[in-house]
A = this chain, B = another copy of it.
Amino acid sequence: MLSYTEENYLKALLQLTFETGLKEEAGTNELAVHLGVKPATANDMLKKLKQKKLVEYQRYGKSSLTGEGKKKAIYIVRKHRLWETFLFKKLEFSWDEVHEVAEQLEHIQSAKLVDKLDEFLNFPAFDPHGDVIPNAKGEMNIPEKKTLLEEVVGHTCTMVGVKDNSATFLQYVDKLHLGINQTFKVTGRQAYDNLIEIEVSGKTFNVSERVAENIVIVCKDCKAGKKNKKSAA
């Protein structure tokens, strides 16, 4: 059983490496800054987590998660994002309020709770910020985000966010039967006025370029982004 604090270090390492994308390792200072502690403190914990075989660490070197450490970190992220989704969808929290509370909820220990929550929310793929929710197997594909404007005709995509947060825009989005986690198909493009034709749960709409460039989506039909399975080293 990991402590609250140990879990936070694992999550931080995940965010500094795989999630941020480019790097595979993180420095001690960098980690300390991320967690709001002093380098000396982070150093202590790195040694402890190395003991537990959750982190790869060597004196004066960069650190990274082991397979096991990564698996645990992804599980914490899964819980965090499921709770964010719960707060947003069921308890009417706004997207900017969910993070703080989810930081606490992510440490609740109960496998059954996580599974049931996932089911209760209907197995959401993205959280209210448009970030991927790792599935029950610990798989977390990070698809590339783009706007609807950039999507290819014929592809099916999922809305994960908006660029315009105004009430007017959000109401319009709602009218188009769109919303976070809503999956739909781009069925065509009008040659004359460039309107984008989409099919959302059986209904067809035409969307202007102005609107399309403010809708953030991911597309599984396009080349997949980085694949971050728990098994990846």
Contacts and interface: CB of A to CB of B under 8 A. Distances in A.
Nearest to A97: B112
A117 interface: yes
Contacts of A200: none
A108 B105 contact: yes
Interface residues of A, number: 18
B104 A116 contact: no
Interface of A: 87, 90-93, 97, 100-101, 104-105, 108-110, 112-113, 116-117, 120
User: Which of A93, A101, A110: most chain B Cβ within 10 A?
Assistant: A110
Contacts of A97: 112
A121 B4 CA distance: 29
A116 B93 contact: yes
A47 B135 CA distance: 47
20 contacts: A87-B113, A90-B120, A91-B113, A91-B116, A91-B117, A91-B120, A92-B116, A93-B112, A93-B116, A97-B112, A100-B110, A101-B108, A101-B110, A101-B112, A101-B113, A104-B108, A104-B109, A104-B110, A105-B105, A105-B108
